[in-house]
Amino acid sequence: MSVVEPPGHLGGLDLADRCNTPVLADLLEERDLLGHGQLLDGTLTERDEDRIRVAKFIAAHPEGTPLSHVVSYAVKGVSPETCERVEGSDPDYQFAYRFVDDLVAPDDPYVRKSESAGVLMVTPTLRLLDLITEGITQTAHQTEGQTYDRQFIRNYLKRVDSVDDDLRELLEDSFTSYLNRIEDYRLLFDVHFVDRRGGESTQRMTKRYKTRFNDQGRVSKQFARFNDALEYGYENAENAVLVTLTTDPKRQDSLLDGIDSINENFNRLLSYFDSDPSTKDNTRNSTVPGWRPDLDDDVTGRPRERPDYIKALEFTEKGYPHLHVLFFDVPTRESDSLPWLCDKPEVAAKWADYGQGEIVDVYPLTYRDDLDDLEPEFQSDEGFVDWYRFGDHDHSEDWVRERTRSHELIEFGDDGHGKESTAGAYLGKYLSATFGSLLDASESFEQGDDERETYADKAATWKLALYWATNRRFWSCSKSITEGIDRNDHLQDPDVRETVRWCSLDSVQAASESEVRDSLARRQWDDLDNLDAAIERAISDVEQPQVRSTLPEGAMFRCTVEYIGAYAHHDLPVAKLVDGARHLESAEDRIVDSSS
């Protein structure tokens, strides 16, 4: 029976179809979910074939699908519009209903049933997904199971506009399943060694499957880089502005759409800041009125440049994405030197024009390195703090109080500690809990376990799963800050050191060649070959010990690494491990041993 593909499906059916039918039949038969199982000739009864198609069809629709559609597409092979009857008296409907009941196991169901507007809906669980994935990984065309988990969640996020309790559970289960699965994965390499005498050898080596979610080294480095980026801002900026950009779910087609579009719209906002409309007056000037919609053709507060920034992505308890962006060294207002990134209503209007949201906050900050001397007590001794209270201006206390209260989205005070926060600490408390939860539930980047508990909700596993499923970064920064904090990383690379060495020698010799050739050519030569030989000797003499001493040590041993593939630990190809595989990290030890 040919199965008609339903319109508008999200690609899940293709993944389900990659599950080998005989393998899936064996898996279902082991769980007593087939009628007769495979016959003596290896075939299946018509109804068992229907059961397999039903299982695949339901798995291909993580957002849920009406049972009547399951009957029409998977059993009858036609669309609902052309199906004569799909109701309780129909034999195919009764068959599908009973099979779905079998899949709704009492303890750990493969499928969940629900009613929506009087329509019976069926939704797959991760248990069914694991079954389908197992059927895929046992075929000749292997794929990584975690890719399907991620696609399953993405398909689900395309159909909802917020996160509820069921989705939180699904996110946690799927993300945990992914982490558990990659613990069993190994990367396989061929490592080719060449010693100083020119001898060659090859050894097969493995490496653990490490990602930003399970590699403690990468997690720790990311938080260290965040702190380096803050230090860069301290050293290079005198003021800053902390901006919060929200998402309005009513403006999005789905929750996934809001998450996927927020970075794109942020880049559009940066381009808006960078543009320079010469025909519009600058609202920073005392004589120019503030921005209003009716003055959009006449005035603007945009900085007319693209400031450096650190950006953190967070999720609300409903899963809505929002950005906290710390912009450095923004222009100031003429009247009192207030840091003025842009008029708040103008930013809000532009952010709404992009379709992301309407609510924004723009908080001016000043850098202080004497926070130890200020009241109230701060969590650190330097950083960017509230310009209203700690900036250099002559405004009254009432003015300060009014302006501070006008910022509804950003609160620097920390009720849990009775201390004031800097903008860096404001961003860092979320990232600290997030990175800390990836490392260990009891470990914190902050100063104590009690502080970690304060932000436990921000480190929820389901929120980590949102970063994973949507492939979003926890934080990022502008290019100049990236270059500023990564300036010397390349010097640690042995290949780069070796390249620098030989390029430096070549450069010195190339720079000397012209002067050497001109000088020797002025002499009298009977044979041009003698001239060329003299030039070559003179250029080689440029390479003196003093020049060599300023360059990295020469490599005594080299190796190249060839990637073979990723395999589950228990599924590593035996033929490739006949000599026994060592860990790739031991390649350096092999180099040292062979060079001695």
pLDDT in tens, 556-593: 556 666 777 777 777 777 555 544 456 655 554 554 44
Residue 177 backbone dihedrals phi, psi, to 5 degrees: -60, -40
Domain coordinates of the chain in residue numbers? 12-138, 144-209+564-596, 216-481, 490-548
Say yes or no to pLDDT of 288 above 90. Answer: yes
Say yes or no to pLDDT of 471 above 80. Answer: yes
Say yes or no to pLDDT of 56 above 50. Answer: yes
Q: Specify the amino acid at residue 83.
A: C
- Dist. CA 245–CA 581, nearest whole Å: 50
> pLDDT by residue (tens digit) across 65-92?
899 889 888 888 887 776 666 666 788 8
Span 303-328, mean pLDDT? 94
| Predicted local confidence at residue 310, as pLDDT | 95
> pLDDT by residue (tens digit) across 33-55?
888 776 656 678 888 889 988 98
pLDDT band at 459 (very low <50, low <70, confident <90, very high): low
pLDDT band at 209 (very low <50, low <70, confident <90, very high): confident
Span 492-517, mean pLDDT? 65
Flag the least confident range among 240-254, 328-342, 533-547.
533-547
pLDDT band at 487 (very low <50, low <70, confident <90, very high): low
CATH class of 12-138: mainly alpha
Span 207-233, mean pLDDT? 85
Closest residue by Cα to residue 485 from 220, 238, 308, 225: 225
- Dist. CA 433–CA 465, nearest whole Å: 14
Span 547-551, mean pLDDT? 50
Say yes or no to pLDDT of 120 above 60. Answer: yes
> pLDDT by residue (tens digit) across 169-179?
889 888 888 88
- Dist. CA 437–CA 379, nearest whole Å: 22
Span 226-241, mean pLDDT? 92
Q: Which residues are CB-neighbours of 357 under 8 A, at least 6 positions away?
A: 245, 246, 247, 248, 251, 322, 351
| Residues of the chain above pLDDT 90, percent | 30
Residues in the chain, total: 596
| Predicted local confidence at residue 10, as pLDDT | 33
Strand partners, 326: 242, 310
SS3 14: helix
- Dist. CA 596–CA 594, nearest whole Å: 6
Query: Which is more confident, 473 or 492?
Result: 473
pLDDT band at 17 (very low <50, low <70, confident <90, very high): low
Task: With beta carbons less than 8 A apart as the criterion, state whether 326 and 198 touch.
Answer: no
| Predicted local confidence at residue 148, as pLDDT | 62
Say yes or no to pLDDT of 448 above 70. Answer: no
- Dist. CA 246–CA 267, nearest whole Å: 15
Say yes or no to pLDDT of 129 above 90. Answer: no
Span 272-292, mean pLDDT? 94
| Predicted local confidence at residue 6, as pLDDT | 39
| Predicted local confidence at residue 526, as pLDDT | 74
Rg of the Cα trace of the chain? 32
- Dist. CA 591–CA 552, nearest whole Å: 18
SS3 451: helix
Q: In degrees to the nearest 10, what's the CA dihedral of 11, 14, 19, 20?
A: 170
Burial per residue of 286-324, b for 16 or more beta-carbon CB atoms within 10 angstroms, e otherwise: eebeebeeebeeebbbbbbebbbbbbbbbbeeebbbbbb
Say yes or no to pLDDT of 363 above 60. Answer: yes
Query: Which is more confident, 368 or 539?
Result: 368
- Dist. CA 431–CA 429, nearest whole Å: 6
Q: Which residues are CB-neighbours of 504 under 8 A, at least 6 positions away?
A: 551
pLDDT band at 367 (very low <50, low <70, confident <90, very high): very high
Query: Which is more confident, 369 or 516?
Result: 369
Mean pLDDT of the chain: 78
Task: Give the helix ranges, DSSP H, for 296-391.
Answer: 344-353, 387-390
Query: Which is more confident, 548 or 352?
Result: 352
Q: Per-residue DSSP letters for 205-238?
A: EEEE---TTT-HHHHHHHHHHHHHHHHHHHHH-S
The DSSP 8-state label assigned to residue 392 in this structure reads S
pLDDT band at 327 (very low <50, low <70, confident <90, very high): very high
Task: With beta carbons less than 8 A apart as the criterion, state whether 36 and 48 touch.
Answer: yes
Say yes or no to pLDDT of 417 above 90. Answer: no
Closest residue by Cα to residue 177 from 149, 158, 211: 149
| Predicted local confidence at residue 265, as pLDDT | 94
Q: Which two tokens stand for residue 495?
A: 């290949």
Q: Which residue has the tokens 């092999």?
A: 590
Strand partners, 321: 315
